[in-house]
């Protein structure tokens, strides 16, 4: 079921975390933070929305890292009911797509809950001081190929954050599959 993200809560500060990555290390929010800001992206392996834009997420992450923005992706889906999202498959996806950023496993879903993650993909762009400045979409594509010359909403917003410390006041929500929550 498709869902959209809420409006950006400007200045909101994320709680720190410590999560294992597909590269064998563990990362905290401070480990990921860059001098120009930080981008935390909630994705998963099976979501058709993520699959259709993964090449652009990888491209934009690499371009943002060049601007001094730290980047990480987190998978929080219930892998018991969605085995394509398990840790072994996360490793395969990160390697096959040449992730230049850590791909973190939120097995307990505590980080997704703390962030209020709603869907995959869900983008959280923070300024250098850790305040939320962007909670919008990657671009206008959704599940479809990006139209020729599509504006790179995420990239442009985070570039602005790196340059000015502030995100755009007008943001279009991201849309994707809902986070697959574990049953209590």
- Over the stretch 44-100, which tens digit does the pLDDT of each residue have? 999 999 999 999 999 999 999 999 999 999 999 999 999 999 999 999 999 999 999
Sign of CA dihedral 107, 103, 178, 69: positive
Write down the mean pLDDT value for the chain: 95
CB atoms within 10 A of CB 31: 16
pLDDT of res. 7? 82
Report whether 10 contacts 133 (CB < 8 A): yes
- Tokens for 127, please give them: 């300024």
What is the helix (H) or strand (E) element at residue 38, kind and residue range? strand 37-42
**Rounded distance between C-alpha atoms, residue 124 and residue 32, angstroms:** 13
Q: Which residue has the higher pLDDT, 140 or 12?
A: 12
Average the pLDDT over 19-42 and give the result: 98
Q: How confident is the model at residue 1 (pLDDT cuts 50, 70, 90)?
A: low
Average the pLDDT over 98-122 and give the result: 97
By percentage, how much of the chain surpasses pLDDT 70? 98
| Of the listed ranges 5-14, 58-67, 76-85, 137-146, the one predicted with least confidence | 137-146
The predicted-structure confidence for 62-75, as pLDDT tens digits, reads as follows 999 999 999 999 99
Report whether 3 contacts 73 (CB < 8 A): no
pLDDT of res. 146? 79
- Tokens for 36, please give them: 């120009």
**Rounded distance between C-alpha atoms, residue 39 and residue 37, angstroms:** 7
By percentage, how much of the chain surpasses pLDDT 90? 89
Q: Which residue has the higher pLDDT, 145 or 41?
A: 41
Hunting for tokens 């993520």 — which residue is that?
A: 50
Going from N- to C-terminal start, the domains of the chain cover: 2-178
pLDDT of res. 149? 85
- First-to-last CA distance in the chain? 20
Task: Name the DSSP letter for residue 84.
Answer: G
| CATH superfamily of this structure's domain 2-178 | Glutaredoxin (3.40.30.10)
């Amino acid at each position: 079921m498709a869902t959209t993200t809420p409006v950006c809560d400007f200045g909101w500060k994320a709680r720190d975390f410590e999560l294992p990555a597909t590269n064998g290390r563990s990362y905290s929010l401070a480990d990921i933070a860059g001098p120009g800001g930080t981008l935390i992206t909630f994705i998963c392996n099976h979501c058709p929305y993520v699959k259709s834009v993964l090449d652009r997420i990888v491209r934009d992450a690499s371009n943002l890292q060049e601007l001094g923005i730290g980047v990480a992706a987190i998978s929080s889906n219930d892998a018991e009911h969605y085995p394509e999202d398990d840790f072994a498959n996360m490793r395969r996806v990160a390697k096959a797509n040449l992730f230049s950023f850590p791909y973190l496993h939120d097995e307990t879903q505590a980080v997704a809950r703390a962030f209020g993650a709603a869907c995959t993909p869900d983008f959280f762009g923070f300024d250098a001081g850790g305040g939320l400045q962007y909670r919008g979409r990657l671009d206008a594509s959704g599940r479809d190929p990006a139209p020729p010359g599509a504006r790179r909403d995420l990239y442009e917003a985070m570039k602005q954050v790196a340059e000015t410390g502030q995100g755009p006041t007008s943001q279009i929500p991201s849309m994707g599959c809902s986070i697959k929550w574990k049953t209590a």
